[in-house]
Amino acid sequence: MTKPPLQGPLLHVPVLAAEVLSALHIFPDGVYFDGTIGVGGHAALILQQLSSQGRYIGIDRDEEALSHCKQRFSASSVSVSLHHGSYHNIKSILERYGVQRVNGFILDLGLSSLQLDSDSRGFSFQSDSALDMRFDKSQSETAADILNTLPSPDLANIIYKYGQERRSRTIARNIEKCRPLISVTDLVEAVRRVTPPNHRNRTLARVFQAIRIKVNSELDHLNTFLNNFIEYLTIGGRVAIISFHSLEDRQVKHRFKDLAREGRLTILTPKPLIASAEEIANNRRSKSAKLRVAERAS
């Protein structure tokens, strides 16, 4: 019997929600590992399909997001374990909860509305705040540390590698000239001075993405996860990963293909699933989302 939706803060609309639920092929008594639970958008939907014998392990580096989940799922009949940390530490997290195998993994690699709309964390170039960009506030290094200390060649490499921005060297040199950069406005101004107005917002988005990825070691953590998750996924279990830019999607695609060639994984999405026109109209964040799903074969 379908249970009523769990109540809680509606701060984040989960992208590709129906596709994720269908793709995971939820086993009611199963164990599910949500490596980026955020404020629980996908989790709320998956929990409705789990029985009281099921288990949900939610991980996030953002303690503010976890506090929302704690409130949101406090009355759940399903066992919900919330853990502050990074999803790439699969082994230690599962050992902590006495779990050896899971029936499904889900990662939503995008930012939540909680993070994007924050007026103090610096994730968006559209509102001023400190240059923070940390998912985990207990981490010492911030975006300001990187922007104010690295030599311009190193900054250029970061902006080019993680942001795919072709003006990376010019931007990095001007960032160095404009130091110290304290606020989002400072970084925006440093970029503005050396870029043409046409498509400048795209340039800013790429620069902010690059610095955020560096601050949080996002691609390194994803790579570690992709190299290890198969060992903890039960045969017939599924993994669903939503990415929002080509760097992430390429890593997922290539690793799935490697595991498929080894006969360990069956790829269920030869081409990634994308949002419908209707979903994009209702949630613009979903426009760049790509969902790849695979099932453990052996």
The verdict on residue 70 lying in a domain is yes
pLDDT (0 to 100) of residue 9: 42
Instruction: Please determine, for residue 250, whether its predicted confidence score (pLDDT) is greater than 60.
Output: yes
The verdict on residue 196 lying in a domain is yes
Instruction: Please determine, for residue 206, whether its predicted confidence score (pLDDT) is greater than 70.
Output: yes
The verdict on residue 3 lying in a domain is no
Model confidence over 57-71: pLDDT tens digits? 999 999 999 999 999
> What is the distance between the alpha carbons of residues 206 and 195, in angstroms, rounded to a whole number?
13
Determine which helix (DSSP H) or strand (DSSP E) holds 245, and give its type and residue range.
Answer: none
> What is the distance between the alpha carbons of residues 159 and 181, in angstroms, rounded to a whole number?
16
Structural domain count of the chain: 2
The residue out of 187, 216, 245 marking a domain boundary is 216
Would you place residue 12 in the very low, low, confident or very high pLDDT band (cuts 50, 70, 90)? Answer: low
Q: Are residues 102 and 225 in the same domain?
A: yes
Looking at every residue in the chain, the average pLDDT score rounds to: 94
Would you place residue 13 in the very low, low, confident or very high pLDDT band (cuts 50, 70, 90)? Answer: confident
pLDDT (0 to 100) of residue 116: 81
The verdict on residue 155 lying in a domain is yes
The CATH number of whichever domain residue 141 belongs to comes to: 1.10.150.170
Q: Are residues 197 and 260 in the same domain?
A: no
Q: Are residues 188 and 238 in the same domain?
A: no
Would you place residue 102 in the very low, low, confident or very high pLDDT band (cuts 50, 70, 90)? Answer: very high
Q: Are residues 193 and 104 in the same domain?
A: no
- Which residue's entry shows tokens 């990825």? 213
pLDDT (0 to 100) of residue 174: 98
**By residue range, what is the domain housing residue 93?**
17-114+219-296
> What is the distance between the alpha carbons of residues 79 and 37, in angstroms, rounded to a whole number?
15
Q: Are residues 63 and 107 in the same domain?
A: yes
pLDDT (0 to 100) of residue 115: 86
Mean pLDDT of the region 223-246: 98
User: What is the number of alpha carbons within 13 Å of residue 15 lying toward its C-beta?
Assistant: 28
Model confidence over 131-182: pLDDT tens digits? 999 999 999 999 999 999 999 999 999 999 999 999 999 999 999 999 999 9
Instruction: Please determine, for residue 2, whether its predicted confidence score (pLDDT) is greater than 80.
Output: no
